[in-house]
Amino acid sequence: MWAVTVASGLTDLSTDTLTGLLPFYLAQTLGASTAAIGLIEGVADATASLVKLTSGWFSDRWRRRKPLAVLGYGLSTASKALMLAATTWPRVLFVRFLERSGKGIRTAPRDALLADSITPEQRGFAFGVHRAGDTAGAVLGLTVGLIIAGTLGERAYLPESAFRVAVIFSLIPATVAVIVLAVFVREIRPAASFPGEAPSLNPAREYPRFRWFLVAVVVFTLGNSSDAFLLLRAQNLGLSISAAIGTLIALNLVYTVLSPPVGALSDRLGRRKVLLGGWLIYAAVYLALAAAEESWQLWPIVAAYGVYYAATEGVSKAFVADLVPSPQRGTAYGTYHAAIGLAALPASVAAGIAWQAVGPGAAFVLGAVLAFVAGLILWRMPGAQVSREL
C-alpha cells in the first residue's frame, strides 16, 4: 500500500505542476476556446478510461498487475516530455491523449493490486490513504505551478517560457515514481477462478449491484466537467492566475486531510451512505459556483469541494472491490473507469459549450442537477449491503 501511495503521489506532483497552468496556457498563449479546452479534457479522460477497460481485463487474464502498472507510469512520464513541442492546441490534445493512455494502462491493475492486498474491513481506509498520497502530491504540484506562475509570469498572463519550465520540472518526480513502483511494489497475483477460460469482459452482467452502481456513476459523471472550468470560473470572478491555482491547493489540502478518516468511516457506516453524502455536497458546491458573484466566495466553496472528493474518490474504488471478487476485479475497475471516462467526454464538451452559449453558471447548474439524480439512483440501489466474503 505505501509504495503504491508514494509512486502515485510523485506522479500527481508531476501531473499537477502542469494541471493548474494548462488551461491558462491553452486559453492565453495558444488561443484555445473554452469549447476546445473542454474537448481536450474530455478526449483525454475518455481515452484513459477506454484503455483502463482493456488493461484491467488483461491483468485478470494474465493474473499479473505490476508490469502493466509500471508500463503505464512509464508511458505517462515519457509523454510529458512531448509537451515541450506542443505549440498548438491540437498538439496539446495529442500529448494529453498519450499521457492519459499511460494513466489508462496503469490505473485498473494498480487499483486491483491495492484492493487484493487489503482485507475488506480496511479497504475504505486503504483507498483513503492512497487518495491522500495522491492529493498531497497534487498539492505540492499545484504549489510548484503557483510559484512558477508567480515568478515567471504576470498577474493575469502565463507566458510560454514559464510553462516550459513547469514541463521540465514535472519530468523529475514522474521518473522517480516509475523507479519506486518497479523496485518496491510486490506483485500479488489474484486467485485463478477461471480454469481454461478468460475472465468475463462484462462483470456488470454477473453482479447486479455493480451494474446499478455503474448507472449511478455514469449519470453523476455526465454533469462532472473538468476542474479546468473551476480555474476559469475563478479567473472569471477576478482572481489572478496564482490565486486561482491557490483555490485548487485549498481544495486538495482538505481532500488530503479528510480522505483517510472518511475512508475509515465508510468501513463502519457503509460505502453507499458516504457516497450519497459526497454527491449531495457536490450538488451544493456546483450550485454555489453558479451563483457566486464575488471572488472571496470561492474559498469556502472549494473547501466544501474538497470534502466531496474525500467522500467519493477512494470510497468509490473500495465499493467496486466490495461488489466484485478478486479474479474479476481488474476488469471491474477497468469497466468502472471506462464508464466514467465515456461520460466525462460529453460532460466537459457540454460544459464548454454551455459556458460560451449561456454563461458560466449554466455548466455548474447542469452538474448539480445530474448529481442529485445520481444520488436518487444510488439511494434506490437494491441490496446495497456488501458481502464481506468478497
pLDDT over 70 for what percent of the chain?
92
Interval 47-76 mean pLDDT: 83
The reported pLDDT for the residue numbered 386 is 41
Q: Is 221's pLDDT higher than 70? A: yes
Interval 315-339 mean pLDDT: 86
Q: What's 171's domain CATH number?
A: 1.20.1250.20
Q: What is the residue range of 292's domain?
A: 2-184+201-379
Count structural domains, the chain. Answer: 1
CA 249 to each of CA 16, 199, 239, 276, 334: distance values in angstroms, whole numbers, following the listed order: 10, 41, 14, 25, 29
Alpha-carbon distance 107 to 101, whole Å? 10
Specify the 3-state DSSP secondary structure of 374: helix
Q: Is 66's pLDDT higher than 60? A: yes
Residue among 196, 156, 136, 194 nearest 12 (CA):
136
The number of angstroms, rounded, from the C-alpha of 187 to the middle of its chain's C-alpha atoms is: 24
What single letter denotes the amino acid at residue 212?
Answer: W
Q: Is residue 346 in some structural domain?
A: yes
Is 259 buried (19+), middle (13-18) or exposed (0-12) by CB count in 10 A? buried
The reported pLDDT for the residue numbered 121 is 79
pLDDT band at 389 (very low <50, low <70, confident <90, very high): very low
| pLDDT per position as a tens digit, 263-305 | 999 999 889 999 999 999 999 999 998 888 888 888 999 999 9
- Phi first, then psi, for residue 154 (nearest 5°) are -110, 175
pLDDT over 90 for what percent of the chain?
22
Q: Is residue 193 in some structural domain?
A: no
Residue among 193, 181, 212, 187 nearest 336 (CA):
212
pTM as predicted: 0.73
The reported pLDDT for the residue numbered 297 is 87
Residues paired with 168 in a beta bridge: none
Interval 136-141 mean pLDDT: 84
Q: Is residue 196 in some structural domain?
A: no
The reported pLDDT for the residue numbered 114 is 85
Higher pLDDT, 385 or 9: 9
The reported pLDDT for the residue numbered 1 is 65
Q: Is residue 147 in some structural domain?
A: yes
Q: Is residue 191 in some structural domain?
A: no
Give me the chain's average pLDDT, please. Answer: 83
Q: Is residue 386 in some structural domain?
A: no
Q: Is 189's pLDDT higher than 80? A: no
* Segments in 117-207 forming alpha helices (H): 123-152, 160-184, 203-206
Q: Is 215's pLDDT higher than 60? A: yes
Which residues, other chains included, contact 247 with Cβ-Cβ below 8 Å and sequence gap of 6+?
Answer: 230, 231, 234, 239, 298, 299, 302
Q: Is residue 390 in some structural domain?
A: no
Q: Is residue 195 in some structural domain?
A: no
